[in-house]
Structure 1
Amino acid sequence: MSNISYFTEEGLQRLKDEVRQLETVERPKISAQIAEAR
């Protein structure tokens, strides 16, 4: 059984924007916090 998800253009763009935000802002911020904790 496959799990197929359908997205509108707007929904897909919103998800892409969220991933970009997490990769470029949140990940480095958390990485810095981990480095500081060490």
Structure 2
Amino acid sequence: MPSFVINEKCDGCKGGEKTACMYICPNDLMVLEPTAMKAY
């Protein structure tokens, strides 16, 4: 099952180094935008 981000609920996992969606998504397809603190 692919992972996805609900933008309204995304808080960048409280500024952690690696977000939960980055951890579960294969091949580093998810990245964190540090200025907006949103994953995509």
More strand by share: 2
The structure that has the greater radius of gyration is 1
TM-score by length of 2: 0.22
Tell me which of the two structures has the higher relative contact order, counting C-alpha pairs closer than 8 angstroms and 6 or more residues apart.
Answer: 2
Bigger proportion of residues as helix: 1
